[in-house]
Amino acid sequence: DAGVIQSPRHEVTEMGQEVTLRCKPISGHDYLFWYRQTMMRGLELLIYFNNNVPIDDSGMPEDRFSAKMPNASFSTLKIQPSEPRDSAVYFCASRHTSTNYGYTFGSGTRLTVV
């Protein structure tokens, strides 16, 4: 298995632009998580899905952030409009129900908003 695949690896965008981050979870995994890593807050959970349904989005910072999972093999995290304070590394992780804490993380997308 190729693991959790995130794209792009790096994204540089101007303030006010829309940014879309993509994630392909491991085949068969029924949970998908979006985390954001910053120096101040560490790894911060933004939202997670179970069987493509959003379960908890309480970590989404504000309405500028949205996430979708249209099918079991694809999820997006969108920021519109982007702001410099959104600059961070965004990680996607997935797991199977049978492995309660067996999260597999992708390599992350480093987002820079200038």
Partner 1 sequence: DQQVKQNSPSLSVQEGRISILNCDYTNSMFDYFLWYKKYPAEGPTFLISISSIKDKNEDGRFTVFLNKSAKHLSLHIVPSQPGDSAVYFCAAAVRTDKLIFGTGTRLQVFP
Q: Which residues bind partner 1 (CB under 8 A)?
A: 4, 33, 35, 39-45, 48, 56, 91, 93, 100-108
Residue type, 69: M
Please give the C-alpha separations between residue 31 and each of 28, 74, 91, in angstroms, as whole numbers: 9, 12, 14
Query: Going by C-beta distance under 8 Å and a sequence separation of 6 or more, which residues neighbour residue 2?
Result: none
Residue 19 or 46 with smaller CB distance to partner 1 = 46
Least CB distance to partner 1 at residue 46 (A): 11
Least CB distance to partner 1 at residue 71 (A): 22
Least CB distance to partner 1 at residue 43 (A): 4
Residue 20 or 57 with smaller CB distance to partner 1 = 57
Residue 81 or 104 with smaller CB distance to partner 1 = 104
